[in-house]
Chain A
Amino acid sequence: MSTGIEAWKNLSEIGPIYPFVGTEVVLVVIAVVIWLVWHAAQISAEKVHHEEVQEEFKKRN
């Protein structure tokens, strides 16, 4: 069983050496989704932080 390379032989014929060659598109889709979700989550969290500070400002003024 091997997820990629089975032997370090005929090296000039070996190209990519990472595991699961052929899954690159799936990996890219997963990564892009993570990137977009990160932005959405961050926008939400920053809004919450701003509301907390605005609340505090009102108490002090």
Chain B
Amino acid sequence: MDNELSSLTAIFTEFYYWVTIPLMFLIHVGFCMYEVGVSRRKNHMHTLMKNTMLVPLVTITFFFFGWWIYWAFPNGPWINGGILWGDGAANTPWANTMGPHLGDRITGVFWAAFLLFSWTAASIVSGAVIERITNAAFWMLAVAIGSVFWIIDAAWGWHYAGWMVVKLGYHDAYASGVIHAIAGGFALGVLAVLGARIGRFRKDGTARNINPRNPWLVTVGLFLIYTGFWGFYVACNVPIIDMGAEVGDATPFFTATNIYLGPTTLSGITFNFLMSLSGGLLAGYCISKGDAFWTYSSGLAGVITASAGNDLYHPIQAMLIGMVGVVIAYKMHYWVERRFKIDDAVGAVAVHGYAGFVGLVICGFVLWGYPSSPYEGYAAINPLGQFIGAIIMFFVLGFVPGYVLSKILNGMGLLRIPPEVEVLGLDTLTIEEYEQDEKEMAEAEQEAAKSI
């Protein structure tokens, strides 16, 4: 920090990541509004607190071990090499750069940007399982997806030296797979064990609708998630590096890059975010016949589908890809519901899981042959590598851990609330206490009014 220009770059980069964090906070405000709006009145406050408390739990566990996993596990380990002890050492919870340090202007903000992605992975699961999962089980599952499994997938497929990038040419610039497919797959694994809400399916197997208590709150919540998603996109980039020096060119070339250190521009991803959002909204409005919940959800699904390649797509390609993802996700949601009696309260598996999976596969075709990395010796982007990557994200690191952990929790009697509690409602006794308090206050005021 003894040279003004390099100090400016260091502090600009620090500020760049910092700004994404309050923006991404809005994703969680949105998730809270959305889940409360979808739940029934008898469960509102428990639903809110279930989503809220993943914030401190994922935060502290990401500090304890999640961040170390990202730096230590790019090779698997034991797929393309061993544990990267050296890289991991600076990111252990006792490293002195994991705190205020005058020689380090990046660790805190970079850790926090990844942390907000961790919260998102857990929040995605949160919505699907409302009204019947115990807080205890959900919070343990949140730590698992938020501080273990997604960050393993990030070390593998969202790190410039991740083995999936090196060997498969895996490309997932804005996390179609590393956040959305894995969280959707994990949610599906949990749902398969958790079971449907009482009364959700008739005896003939058809589903009853449990409609949102407050559809207005749900849609404004989704709109806030869109707003926070801007921060997510910006945080997925590296703001400025000299790519010329990275690739051994004679001339410098300063540019923004994606997480793999391949070139992109903030301007380009701005086009693509907006066009894929628009494609999703347009397709969602049509396929759902104007249903507000599905239209707003489809905007998100459109962005998620195009995210894998939104660093490079043409904006109209992004729009069309968004539309395709939405149609597939919507159809799959209802097919899986009918066929397997899966009660996904908010369509999280579809919007995140199926849309993310499809987005990875499409990227393999549309960006076929592109370098996955500026470094030598990496596989190029290709359809097979993307498909294998999608399977790893959705099933291997998503569905299977969600299913197995839920089975363990279920075996311990910890997964689901008792049926009496589900029918009466998680908040019912509290609501009745509040009503009793109001009645008592009203009587006290009436009594006081007599002597005024």
Tell me the nearest residue of chain B to A53, going by C-beta: B421
CB distance from A59 to the nearest CB of B (A): 10
CB distance from A19 to the nearest CB of B (A): 10
Tell me the nearest residue of chain A to B420, going by C-beta: A57
Chain B residues lying within 8 Å of A17, measured Cβ to Cβ, are 100-102
**Does B96 lie at the interface of the complex (its beta carbon under 8 Å from any beta carbon of A)?**
yes
Interface size in chain A (residues, C-beta < 8 A): 27
- The bracket for how many chain B residues form the interface is 20 to 34
Please state if B64 and A32 are interface contacts (CB–CB under 8 Å): yes
Please state if B102 and A46 are interface contacts (CB–CB under 8 Å): no
Please state if A16 and B424 are interface contacts (CB–CB under 8 Å): no
Please state if A15 and B417 are interface contacts (CB–CB under 8 Å): no
| Per-residue interface assignment for chain B, residues 92 to 136, with 1 indicating a CB less than 8 Å from any chain A CB and 0 otherwise | 011111111111000000000000000000000000000000111
**Does A50 lie at the interface of the complex (its beta carbon under 8 Å from any beta carbon of B)?**
yes
A31 contact from B2, B60, B134, Cβ within 8 A:
B60
Q: Contacts A28-B94, A57-B424; is A14 near B418 (CB within 8 Å)?
A: no
A-B CB pair tally, cutoff 8 Å: 76
Please state if A54 and B61 are interface contacts (CB–CB under 8 Å): no
Chain B residues lying within 8 Å of A12, measured Cβ to Cβ, are 1-2, 102-103
Q: Contacts A50-B417, A57-B424; is A35 near B64 (CB within 8 Å)?
A: yes
CB distance from A27 to the nearest CB of B (A): 8
Q: Tell me, in angstroms, the Cα distance from A28 to B417 when the chains sit together.
A: 33
Q: Contacts A35-B64, A50-B417; is A57 near B423 (CB within 8 Å)?
A: yes
Tell me the nearest residue of chain A to B414, going by C-beta: A43
Tell me the nearest residue of chain B to A16, going by C-beta: B96
- In A43-58, which residues have CB < 8 Å from any B CB? 43, 46, 50, 52-54, 56-58
**Does B19 lie at the interface of the complex (its beta carbon under 8 Å from any beta carbon of A)?**
no
| Per-residue interface assignment for chain B, residues 425 to 449, with 1 indicating a CB less than 8 Å from any chain A CB and 0 otherwise | 0101100000000000000000000
**Does B266 lie at the interface of the complex (its beta carbon under 8 Å from any beta carbon of A)?**
no
Q: Tell me, in angstroms, the Cα distance from A20 to B421 when the chains sit together.
A: 48
**Does B84 lie at the interface of the complex (its beta carbon under 8 Å from any beta carbon of A)?**
no
B424 contact from A14, A21, A56, Cβ within 8 A:
A56
Please state if B103 and A15 are interface contacts (CB–CB under 8 Å): yes
Please state if B64 and A46 are interface contacts (CB–CB under 8 Å): no
Please state if A53 and B424 are interface contacts (CB–CB under 8 Å): yes
**Does B186 lie at the interface of the complex (its beta carbon under 8 Å from any beta carbon of A)?**
no
Q: Tell me, in angstroms, the Cα distance from A60 to B423 when the chains sit together.
A: 12
Chain B residues lying within 8 Å of A35, measured Cβ to Cβ, are 57, 60-61, 64
Chain A residues lying within 8 Å of B417, measured Cβ to Cβ, are 50
Q: Tell me, in angstroms, the Cα distance from A27 to B96 when the chains sit together.
A: 12
Q: Tell me, in angstroms, the Cα distance from A43 to B96 when the chains sit together.
A: 34
**Does B170 lie at the interface of the complex (its beta carbon under 8 Å from any beta carbon of A)?**
no
Most chain B CB inside 10 Å of its own CB: which residue of A18, A27, A57, A58: A57
Please state if A14 and B420 are interface contacts (CB–CB under 8 Å): no
Chain A residues lying within 8 Å of B98, measured Cβ to Cβ, are 24
**Does A9 lie at the interface of the complex (its beta carbon under 8 Å from any beta carbon of B)?**
no
Chain A residues lying within 8 Å of B424, measured Cβ to Cβ, are 53, 56-57, 60
**Does B139 lie at the interface of the complex (its beta carbon under 8 Å from any beta carbon of A)?**
yes
Q: Tell me, in angstroms, the Cα distance from A9 to B255 when the chains sit together.
A: 35
Residues of B that sit less than 8 Å from A by CB: 1-2, 57, 60-61, 64, 93-103, 134-136, 139-140, 414, 417-418, 420-421, 423-424, 426, 428-429
Interface contacts beyond A18-B99, A42-B136, A56-B424: sample of 19 additional A-B pairs, CB < 8 Å, sorted by A? A11-B102, A12-B102, A14-B103, A15-B101, A16-B96, A16-B99, A17-B101, A24-B93, A24-B99, A28-B64, A28-B93, A35-B57, A35-B61, A42-B135, A43-B414, A50-B418, A50-B421, A53-B418, A54-B420
